[in-house]
């Protein structure tokens, strides 16, 4: 008998995105910064590359760039799966779960009860705590701490509120099938009181998941702030399947109220108006870190429930998005969310065009051959041409390509991955569309290309498109294309790994 050798090339393993060494991962959970360490917990199946046995995996980093995988933090057991949630450091030991010297790190997670549990079929909120900086965890003996006897009550995000209404813990969670964010408060993380609900339009078949709520200054002015409510929806995402919406408004300590006229005017794939954190297919369940005094950093799960179980990565499954720093800015008279990626410092920077204003002719121009296996950042900065389209083609070769298209006529940015990949799933091939707000007549694109993903930050992070791609292998060319001459002010390629 001859044995079949195991595949030696893990060609889709990202260079600059977190992925577990093996087995399944979905939502980021319990993002918390504590004593110089960023903790990334996540939905994880410790036993295989499919969804199941949901537990909290764990990775740590001191710079958000390099992650070290840690032992599984919170394990499922016979009675419950450990669904998504958040983590806080209970500095003043309000919960009493500390030992007098070490403030407890407290994870607030959803208990998804199994058949052996008396609560079978319901979801409620529970606590686990760690007294050794997230290395080992104990479940709280009084779990669950918040039970609505509901089958779809999940994904608690907890933060310390200190404002006009008082000082207390706030939890936002979802009644997923009712399209409802439920808001609670607590003095001690143990007993919770209902404050309010928030809902909005959406397709009936969609569920709401993984909410987040935080306050940010507008235009870097600490005297003017707004609150941002994040809600992931699936299906019904703007590009099909899973997607993440945001609402801008006010939170008075009890109610979140959306500010009128903050919504985008673009119709999504589901015909739904709304503001989207990302216009691509693969940024879901994005939530922010707790424990950072003056920065708001989010990470999302770089996949989509429509095909997450079919991605061709073998023994591991799924990566996180790049961490993104979030801010609010006034653009065109509206308060808008801006995202700035956090990525490694380049090891090599090249400029395929010589000087600002270099004209790239109509047609197609090869601008680089991707160093095999490296992650790249590509930046383009130009005046918006009067008409027509131009753009970049990534990972081209052997008939495969992924196109990023700037369409002046429709003021639209498109990412076309219909010819990007091996067969993944019937619903995988797609063309994503994001609104292109011109800033002083300019187009600015910043694109991160990794082994199985493309993340586009357009117009200084005003719109992002995140998509997975799975080229067969060997697709290394990057091209510029245009249907009329384009004067390019900056074209830069940076190797990131």
Residues lying near ligand FRU in the complex (CB under 6 A) are found at 26-27, 43, 54, 83-84, 110, 154-155, 209-210, 285
C-alpha 76/C-alpha 81 separation (Å) is: 5
Nearest approach in angstroms of CB 210 to ligand FRU is: 6
Active-site residue list: 27
* 461 three-class SS: helix
Nearest approach in angstroms of CB 154 to ligand FRU is: 5
Nearest approach in angstroms of CB 220 to ligand FRU is: 32
**Nearer to ligand FRU among residue 54 and residue 451 (C-beta):** 54
Tokens linked to 34: 């504590």
- Residue 85 parent element (H or E): strand 80-89
**Nearer to ligand FRU among residue 262 and residue 313 (C-beta):** 313
**Nearer to ligand FRU among residue 27 and residue 450 (C-beta):** 27
* 129 three-class SS: strand
Tokens linked to 256: 């979140």
**Nearer to ligand FRU among residue 154 and residue 281 (C-beta):** 154
| Cβ–Cβ < 8 Å for 396, 416 | no
**Nearer to ligand FRU among residue 94 and residue 303 (C-beta):** 303
Instruction: Report angle CA 168, 215, 57 to the nearest 5 degrees.
Output: 75
Nearest approach in angstroms of CB 85 to ligand FRU is: 8
| Cβ–Cβ < 8 Å for 67, 19 | no
**Nearer to ligand FRU among residue 22 and residue 334 (C-beta):** 22
CA atoms within 13 A on the CB side of 343: 26
C-alpha 282/C-alpha 237 separation (Å) is: 10
Q: Tokens 């298209």 sit at which residue?
A: 405
**Nearer to ligand FRU among residue 300 and residue 391 (C-beta):** 300
Provide the 8-state DSSP code for 25: E
Nearest approach in angstroms of CB 283 to ligand FRU is: 12
C-alpha 244/C-alpha 202 separation (Å) is: 12
C-alpha 419/C-alpha 399 separation (Å) is: 8
How many Cβ atoms sit within 10 Å of the Cβ of residue 132?
A: 9
Provide the 8-state DSSP code for 53: S
Nearest approach in angstroms of CB 27 to ligand FRU is: 5
Three-state SS string across 228-296, please? EEEEEEECCCCCCCCEEEEEEEEECCCCEEECCCCCCCCECCCCCECEECCCCCCCEEEEECECCCCCC
Nearest approach in angstroms of CB 103 to ligand FRU is: 26
Instruction: Report angle CA 462, 18, 31 to the nearest 5 degrees.
Output: 75
Beta bridge partners of 482: 363, 390
């Amino acid at each position: 008998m001859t044995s079949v050798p195991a595949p030696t090339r893990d060609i889709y393993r990202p260079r600059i995105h977190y992925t577990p060494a093996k087995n399944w991962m979905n939502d980021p959970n319990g993002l918390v910064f504590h004593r110089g360490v960023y903790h990334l917990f996540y939905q994880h199946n410790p036993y295989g590359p499919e969804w199941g046995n949901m537990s909290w995996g764990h990775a740590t980093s001191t710079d958000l760039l390099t992650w070290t995988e840690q032992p599984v933090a919170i394990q499922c057991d016979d009675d419950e799966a450990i669904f998504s949630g958040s983590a806080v450091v209970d500095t003043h030991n309000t919960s009493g779960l500390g030992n007098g010297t070490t403030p407890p790190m407290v994870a607030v997670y959803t208990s998804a009860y199994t058949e052996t549990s008396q609560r079978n079929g319901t979801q409620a909120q529970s606590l686990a705590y760690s007294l050794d900086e997230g290395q080992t965890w104990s479940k709280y003996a009084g779990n669950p701490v918040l039970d609505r006897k509901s089958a779809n009550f999940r994904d608690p995000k907890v933060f310390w509120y200190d404002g006009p209404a008082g000082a207390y813990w706030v939890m936002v969670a979802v009644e997923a099938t009712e399209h409802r964010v439920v808001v609670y408060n607590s003095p001690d993380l143990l007993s919770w009181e209902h404050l309010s609900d928030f809902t909005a339009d959406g397709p009936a078949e969609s569920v709401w998941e993984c909410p987040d709520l935080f306050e940010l200054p507008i235009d870097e002015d600490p005297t003017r702030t707004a609150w941002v409510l994040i809600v992931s929806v699936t299906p019904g995402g703007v590009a099909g399947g899973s997607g993440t919406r945001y609402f801008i408004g006010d939170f008075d300590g009890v109610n979140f109220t959306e500010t009128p006229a903050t919504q985008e005017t673009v119709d999504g794939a589901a015909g739904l108006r709304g503001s989207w954190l990302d216009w691509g297919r693969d940024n879901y369940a994005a939530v922010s870190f707790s424990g950072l005094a003056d920065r708001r950093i989010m990470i999302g799960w770089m996949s989509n429930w429509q095909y997450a179980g079919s991605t061709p990565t073998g023994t591991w499954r799924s990566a996180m998005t790049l961490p993104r720093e979030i801010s609010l800015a006034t653009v065109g008279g509206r308060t808008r969310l801006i995202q700035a990626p956090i990525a490694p410092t380049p090891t090599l920077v090249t400029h395929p065009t010589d000087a600002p204003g270099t004209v790239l002719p109509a047609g197609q121009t090869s601008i680089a051959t991707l160093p095999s296996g490296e992650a790249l950042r590509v930046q383009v900065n130009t005046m918006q041409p009067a008409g027509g389209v131009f753009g970049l083609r990534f990972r081209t070769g052997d008939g495969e390509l992924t196109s990023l298209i700037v369409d002046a006529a429709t003021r639209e940015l498109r990412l076309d991955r219909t010819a990007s990949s091996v067969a993944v799933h019937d619903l995988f091939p797609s063309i994503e569309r994001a609104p292109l707000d011109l800033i002083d007549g300019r187009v600015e694109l910043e694109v991160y290309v990794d082994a199985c993903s493309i993340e586009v930050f357009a117009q200084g992070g005003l719109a992002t498109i995140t998509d997975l791609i799975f080229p067969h292998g060997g697709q290394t060319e990057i091209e510029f294309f245009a249907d009329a001459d384009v004067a390019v002010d900056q074209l830069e390629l940076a190797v990131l790994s």
